[in-house]
Chain A
Amino acid sequence: KQEVTQIPAALSVPEGENLVLNCSFTDSAIYNLQWFRQDPGKGLTSLLLIQSSQREQTSGRLNASLDKSSGRSTLYIAASQPGDSATYLCAVRSGGSNYKLTFGKGTLLTVNP
């Protein structure tokens, strides 16, 4: 059974810092990995999707990497801003016809002005 862990559970940084959020998964036979952002009481916004054959994806100040063999992904946020404050969720889609995502519990990021 796939399990996804995110470390740390919470992170507080001053504005302008570069930071890394970590995600690990137990079964390396994944189809893809997706990073989401969730604001309090709101829905999930897709940030980046990495296919199993890819090593990284970039969007603006965000860069996500994937090391499937070791079961790890990182989300790098450059020059953090207060508007980046949110919960970041990592989710993996395992192989098979079911498109189910298995989610980590998230990292609550606070960027202080």
Chain B
Amino acid sequence: EAQVTQNPRYLITVTGKKLTVTCSQNMNHEYMSWYRQDPGLGLRQIYYSMNVEVTDKGDVPEGYKVSRKEKRNFPLILESPSPNQTSLYFCAITDRGSNEQYFGPGTRLTVT
């Protein structure tokens, strides 16, 4: 079964200090994406990637960057984090065979 790993799982940082949340998969799935989850707003897509070097914005991309240099990894980069980016972040992959999406365990980010 597909597995998605995120690191770190918990992070407390200060405004403006660049950070990266890593996401890796144990299979060779092409499609990966990032979501954030906030109380009252649910899960919203930040960025997605259809394949290596192919990325595009989701619904809430402001303040985030991504890269996809290899198929297994899809890091989320916050160049200058702000308190409104305090959230629970999930990386997901799609198994194109079954069309099922699998989510990582989540990264809880607090920006003070």
Interface residue ranges, A against B (CB under 8 Å) = 31-32, 34, 36, 41-44, 46, 49, 51, 89, 91, 93, 97-101, 103-106
Contact = CB atoms under 8 A, between A and B. Distances in A.
A100 B34 CA distance: 10
A45 to B, nearest CB: 8
Contacts of B102: 46
30 contacts: A31-B99, A32-B99, A34-B100, A42-B105, A43-B90, A43-B104, A44-B90, A44-B103, A46-B100, A46-B101, A46-B102, A49-B99, A51-B99, A91-B43, A93-B99, A97-B50, A98-B48, A98-B56, A99-B48, A100-B33, A100-B45, A100-B58, A101-B45, A101-B92, A101-B101, A103-B42, A104-B42, A105-B40, A105-B41, A106-B42
Contacts of A89: 42-43
The A interface is mostly helix, strand or loop, or mixed, namely strand
Contacts of B101: 34, 46, 91, 93, 99, 101
Interface string B40-61: 1111110010100000101100
A12 B100 CA distance: 29
A43 to B, nearest CB: 4
A44 B43 CA distance: 11
Nearest to A98: B48
B73 interface: no
Contacts of B105: 42-43
A41 B9 CA distance: 11
Question: Which interface residue of A31, A43, A51 has the most chain B CB atoms within 10 A?
Answer: A43
B87 interface: no
Given A46-B100, A98-B48, A103-B43, 18 more contacts: A34-B101, A43-B104, A43-B105, A44-B103, A46-B101, A46-B102, A46-B103, A49-B98, A51-B99, A89-B42, A89-B43, A93-B99, A93-B101, A100-B33, A100-B48, A103-B42, A105-B42, A106-B42
